[in-house]
Copies of this chain bind each other. A is one copy, B any other.
């Protein structure tokens, strides 16, 4: 990515298989883990250090859905700027490959896997990307293959 392309929103025609995009990083705190869990995933290993120590996580760990939500925040703030925003049609898969613990710093790498025009909408296309969330040791914590709606470049 050059600075110029990072500033302009991208259309389907700007994307190519193998392109990579990056994001900043987010540090995950124990308070954030517990707040998310209290609302969306109230299980002991996401809420309480002592209970979590006895669980298969071995300590307080973020809900996988919290990690997925943080992934989306990184994605929105990252350097893949799509015309029309980031609108997901779905995931082909998602794996939680490492637990996320308090103090972990997460960053996201995106690789374009496929692009195709929509069959039904002349102004739209679909791209498939692989998102890999890495922790501060560069261990993948979450991997997802996402299908995104992308606008086609309007005729000049």
Copies of this subunit: 2
Q: Are B40 and A85 in contact (CB under 8 A)?
A: no
- Which chain A residues (70-119) contact chain B, with CB distance < 8 Å? 70, 72-73, 76, 84-96
> Once the chains are docked, how many angstroms separate the CA of A64 from the CA of B71?
12
Partner of A95, one of B36, B87, B90: B90
Using Cβ atoms and an 8 Å threshold, which residues of chain B touch A88? 64, 96
Tell me whether A27 is interfacial, beta carbon within 8 Å.
Answer: no
Docked pose: A90 CA to B65 CA in angstroms: 11
A31 to chain B, nearest CB (A): 13
Contact of A73 among B39, B45, B91 (CB under 8 A): B39
A91 to B90, CA, bound (A): 11
User: Does A3 touch B at the CB level, under 8 Å?
Assistant: no
A65 nearest CB across to chain B (Å): 5
Inter-chain contact B95/A40, CB cutoff 8 Å: no
List the B side residues contacting A56 at CB < 8 Å. 84, 87, 149
Contacts A41-B72, A65-B69, A69-B65 given; indicate if A93 touches B93 (C-beta within 8 A). Answer: yes
Chain B residues within an 8 Å CB radius of A86: 43
Chain A residues near B (Cβ < 8 Å): 36, 39-45, 55-56, 63-66, 68-70, 72-73, 76, 84-96, 149
9 residue pairs of the A-B complex, CB under 8 angstroms, read A39-B69, A40-B69, A41-B72, A41-B76, A44-B85, A65-B68, A89-B96, A93-B93, A94-B94
